[in-house]
Amino acid sequence: MSGLFASGVLPIDKPEGPTSHDVVAAVRRHLGIRRIGHTGTLDPFASGLLLLCVGQATRIAEYLSPLPKRYVAVAVLGVETDTDDRTGEPVMESEGWRTLRVAEVVAAFTEQVGERLQLPPTYSAKKVGGERAYRRARRGERVEGVPVPVTIYSLSVQRCELPEVHFEVTCSSGTYVRAIARDAGRSLGCGAHLSVLRRTGIGTLDVAAALPLERLGDAEAVAAHWLTPLEAVSHLKAVELGPEAVRRVVQGKAVDAPPGVSPDGPLALVHGGELIGIGESDDGRIRPRKVFGAAE
């Protein structure tokens, strides 16, 4: 398949079980392409949208990774685990959830909306002392995490079937949904962990348009879900370039910015329906930051 899918983005609907690295390895085997990377890890117990950048499109990963993420999740009150999810060992249990009112539970989740400092889970990929936290935790070391700034754009509780709490959340990259469940449990005084997590969207991309992993061997299905680099960065403002501007951009030279282009973020530089590069506007000029040549 490598000739057909040399450069682009493949949205995968990851099932529960495999790691994100497992998914990357499977796509490498089926496409026959080594240069593949993802734009945001999903834990093995989680499912949902995983964006894989293939070939030269790995160079646009940095413009996809920061996009807001959407999830549906289920938290279970009454048990906090060492991983903050169902895969961990209980560290605290309480029957206190039985006396809680639904309004109290909803408030414990929704009060987290906004900009906040969030303590990453002990078992996380965050680095502590130059090493992944989960590696230290697996050796039995005490991990002192550092709260990091995150943004929870929206959170709505869909239903409470206590001790289960079903909710939807849209949050910034780097936010741990299992930490949302943990913090709600601590606020309620009974503990909580995450039992279900499914990523339903990244930016404007939805899991409904993703390729189920089990259909990876179907070339027609892959083609139907394949995104060109330009389609993948559709959230960026596009600037159409003429032939002379394209020549300058591919040489790494700045070009005049069309009227109305403001310096408020990266720009998709386009010619003939293809992504030529990513640039930035400054003082009426567009300076290329990434230039794309022939597909590999």
Give the catalytic positions in this structure: 43
Q: Can you tell me the distance from the alpha carbon of 178 to that of 119, in angstroms, rounded to the nearest whole number?
A: 11
SS3 of residue 172 by DSSP: coil
Q: Name the CA radius of gyration of the chain, rounded.
A: 22
Closest by CA to 186, choosing from 81, 68, 291, is 81
Q: Can you tell me the distance from the alpha carbon of 51 to that of 64, in angstroms, rounded to the nearest whole number?
A: 8
Q: Is 78 exposed, middle or buried (0-12, 13-18, 19+ CB in 10 A)?
A: buried
Beta strands in the chain (DSSP E): 8-14, 36-38, 47-54, 69-77, 79-81, 90-93, 114-118, 127-128, 131-132, 148-161, 164-171, 192-202, 205-206, 211-212, 237-240, 255-256, 267-271, 274-282, 285-291
Write the DSSP assignment of 149-162 as a string of letters.
Answer: EEEEEEEEEEEEET
